[in-house]
Amino acid sequence: MRKFAIIYFASCFIPIFIYAQNNFRLDTIRVDKNDSRNIHAYNKSGAYSDVSEKSNKGIMNSNEINGFDKTKLHFGANLGLSLSKNYTFLGLGPQIGYSFSNHFMAGAGIKYYYTKTKAYDYGNSYLYKNNLLGANIFGYIYPVKFITVFAQPELNYLWTSVENITTNEISKDRGIVPSIVVGVGFRLGFTHITFNYDLIHEVNSPYPEGIFLGISAFF
């Protein structure tokens, strides 16, 4: 009878033991592959991979690729339009900037200006036409939240014509006109209101003499 009991209990516990051996696991909690608790994300140096760390800390997102964050891009444009009997001005200047930090934004842009002016001198009337195509780089420094310091080196190509309407004589000129515009002013979000000055100011500079007001807006 005792021998039969031993055989009976053995037949009951052996299947349970075999099942436990085949199904028992130490990592019974399912975790995401980038979770810090996932042992497979642990590297040889004893630290978790950058991907898992950044994912856990909420640093990485779909907009950040190899350190470049698309949310820090800002697009803007300088637009100008003025029409009157003796003066026409048309200006277009798309700009793109990137916020490298809370204290610095930099970028580049292009622009096109067209002006037409009618003037009178000593009984003769003249028609001036100017076309300007340029490229620039720029930077805004924010020493404090509402103050900005601005610099914009640029290179412009200018072609002009002057027509003496009285005699129908036309003279043309073209050439490269460099400018270095600096300024200081106020920042409201990503709108800048600055007082600017062209350090070079060549004869055909597109900017007026002395200090002039500049407004730029980025989104």
Is position 128 within any domain? yes
Claim to verify: residue 138 and residue 50 sit in the same structural domain: no
Please check whether residues 4 and 105 belong to one and the same domain: no
- The answer to whether the predicted template modeling score (pTM) of the entire model surpasses 0.85 is no
pLDDT above 70: percentage of residues in the chain: 70
Interval 10-30 mean pLDDT: 50
pLDDT reading at 52 higher than 50: no
pLDDT at 63: 62
Average pLDDT of the chain, as a whole number: 80
Q: What is the pLDDT of residue 65?
A: 63
Please check the confidence at residue 201 and state whether its pLDDT lies above 50. yes
pLDDT surpasses 90 at 4: no
pLDDT exceeds cutoff 60 at 43: no
Same-domain status, 56 and 89: no
Phi, psi dihedrals of residue 96, rounded to the nearest 5°: -135, 130
Per residue in 94-143, pLDDT tens? Answer: 999 999 999 999 999 999 999 999 988 877 899 999 999 999 999 999 99
Is residue 167, in this structure, part of any structural domain at all?
yes
Instruction: Write out pLDDT tens, residues 61-107.
Output: 556 666 789 999 999 988 778 888 888 989 999 999 999 999 999 99
Task: Give yes or no for residue 49 having a pLDDT over 80.
Answer: no
Give the count of beta carbons closer than 10 Å to the beta carbon of residue 63. Answer: 11
Residue 22 makes CB contacts below 8 A (sequence gap 6+) with none
CATH assignment at residue 145: 2.40.160
Domain that holds residue 130: 71-217
Could you give the CA distance from residue 204 to residue 208 in angstroms, rounded to a whole number?
10
Which pLDDT score, from 0 to 100, does residue 206 have?
A: 82
Q: Quick check: 201 and 209 in contact, CB under 8 A?
A: yes
111 shares its domain with 199: yes
18/113 same-domain check: no
Q: What pLDDT is stored for residue 77 in this prediction?
A: 85
**3 state SS for 106-140:** EEEEEEEEEEEEEEEECCEEEEEEEEEEEEEEEEE
Asked if residue 120 and residue 90 are part of one domain, the reply reads yes
Confidence category of residue 39, pLDDT binned at 50, 70, 90: low
Q: How many domains does the chain have?
A: 2
